[in-house]
Amino acid sequence: MIAKYPIKIKIIYTVVEIIFLLIIKLSNFFWPLKRNSFKNDKVKILLLEPYQMGDVIALSVLLNPIKKAFPNSDIHILCKTANFFEKDIRVKALHSVDFAWTTHNENRWKHILGWKGMLNELTFLKKIDFDIGIETRGDIRSQFILNFLGVQQTIGYNQAITTNLKNFGLLVTHSVNPKYKHRFEWNTYLLTALGVDEKSLFPLQLPSFYIEKTAKQTQNYILIHIGGGWKYKLWSNQRWILLIEKLIEKYNLLIRVIGGWSESENLEFIKNHFGDSSLLSFEITDFQQLAKAIYFSEVFICIDSGPQNLASCMNKKSIVLFGPGHSEAFRPYSKDSKFIHKIQGFDCHPCFQQVCKHSEVSCMTQIEVQDVLELISF
């Protein structure tokens, strides 16, 4: 299923695409970009992803196929937070900018006013003279950015991912019809627009995200990440507590419970329930610590979030709790992974993830502790 926007929104979307095209044409007419006269044999490729951690990590499935098809390429990534690939030798450079349209529930006028500052921040990238730009979401705003940067060949979908919003391909040189639904496959298929043989791309080869080689800690553990960005994606503290109690009782393994700084209050609440225990640890992790914790875990339990995409890209076994998210596109892709998505009776699914119509008895509250326990295996 896809999120279905009303006809009014679809018309507005088309009008905005045409306006973007006119802006680009006028800008190129009055202020034509001057490409550097210096030439070398490097192909400079820009991957653009304006949203959060999971979406950025999903770009990793493109890196090896790009390097195979263009061995002498320099890959740049433009995203909101650029530290995810800072230790990845396949990536030439990381660039970050605060994209004007990517914050939940922020006033729409602030989005519009934020465009000026965003474009000012992006101006320095015009000097790089990108040869190829890949926009994976089918989002005309991101496609406009590639044009603003003067990218010579631009590749993107003619439909926004998991929605019925379609575009006419006016803002890309290579417009692609979607064929696959899962985000990893969706991203990878775009490379066929550059002449890469589809058979060489599939099935996907995981892992696609790597961490620094470090020694494995001696104690095996189950890893739980309680965070998930949007509040309506979260599972209740009480259910996490009950799950942890059941896991300790059943497996007698170390349980590592982690989260980012935004989850610190919830981590403290859960920690205070248990007190001191040799079978429990609670940690606030940065990205590199998170990646290592997932990599060495026996099984990773989390909600639909960036960390579950990271686990998939490292081909680690995970159990993922889905609520308002789109499990068909974002389910765990790694071997032996499973997910829970109990949306029967919720006519609001697929969710636009802006407000919740059923905040007291939501799709997340339908997931019971027993549902999770039944999926765990070693």
Give me the residue spans of the domains in the chain: 7-201, 221-373
User: Which pLDDT belongs to residue 35?
Assistant: 66
CA-to-CA distance for 239 and 334, rounded, in angstroms?
25
Q: Are the C-beta atoms of residues 57 and 306 closer than 8 Å to each other?
A: yes
Does the pLDDT at position 125 exceed 90? yes
- Same fold: 7-201 with 221-373: yes
Identify the band that residue 373 occupies on the pLDDT scale cut at 50, 70 and 90. very high
Are 255 and 298 contacting, i.e. CB atoms less than 8 angstroms apart? no
CA distance between the termini of the chain: 32
The DSSP string of 310-328 is HHHHTT--EEEEESSS-HH
DSSP string, 254-311: EEEEEE-GGGHHHHHHHHHHH-S-TTEEEEE--HHHHHHHHHT-SEEEEESSHHHHHH
Alpha-carbon torsion 127, 130, 134, 140, what sign? positive
Over residues 88-114, the pLDDT tens digits come to 999 999 999 989 888 654 566 666 778
Q: What single letter denotes the amino acid at residue 158?
A: N
Alpha-carbon distance values, 242 to 79, 257, 279, 369 (Å): 37, 13, 15, 7
What is the residue whose two structure tokens read 């006809």? 7
Distance CA 200, CA 77 (A): 23
Residue 248, Ramachandran bin (φ over 0: left; ψ between -120 and 50: alpha; else beta):
alpha
- What letter would DSSP give residue 242? H
Residue 8 or residue 86, greater confidence:
8
Beta bridge partners of 282: 257
Per-residue confidence (pLDDT) for residue 181, from 0 to 100 = 95
What integer pLDDT is reported at residue 217 of this predicted model? Answer: 67
Burial of 38 per CB tally in 10 Å (0-12, 13-18, 19+): exposed
Residue 98 CB contacts under 8 Å (≥ 6 apart), including other chains = 80, 114, 117, 118, 121
Residue type, 155: I
pLDDT band, very low/low/confident/very high, at 197 (cuts 50, 70, 90): very high
- Both tokens assigned to 276: 């001191």
Q: Give the least confident one: 71-80, 271-280, 313-322.
A: 271-280
The pLDDT mean for the chain works out to 91
Q: Using an 8 Å Cβ cutoff, are 271 and 295 in contact? A: no
pLDDT for 131: 95
Who's near 240: CB < 8 A, 6+ residues apart?
A: 224, 226, 257, 270
Is 268 a residue whose pLDDT tops 60? yes
255 near 220, Cβ under 8 Å?
no
CA proximity to 80, closest of 16, 144, 142, 173: 142
Question: Which one, of 39, 15, 17, 18, lies nearest residue 152 by Cα?
Answer: 39
Distance of CA 209 to the CA centre of its chain: 13
Top pLDDT among 1 and 152 is at 152
Q: Higher model confidence: residue 42 or residue 166?
A: 166
Q: What is the model's pLDDT at position 144?
A: 98
Q: Percent of the chain beyond pLDDT 90?
A: 74
User: CATH homologous superfamily of domain 221-373?
Assistant: Glycogen Phosphorylase B; (3.40.50.2000)
Say whether pLDDT at 9 is over 60: yes
Q: Please state the pTM of the whole predicted model.
A: 0.92
Q: Which residue has the higher pLDDT, 361 or 224?
A: 224
Looking at domain 7-201, its CATH architecture is 3-Layer(aba) Sandwich (3.40)
Mean pLDDT of 13-27: 96
List pLDDT tens digits, range 279-310.
999 999 999 999 999 999 999 999 999 999 99
With the C-alpha atoms ordered 317, 199, 146, 34, is the resulting torsion angle positive or negative? positive
pLDDT of residue 66: 97
Strand partners, 206: none
> Would you say residue 38 has pLDDT above 60?
no
| Structure token digits, residue 188 | 């990878």
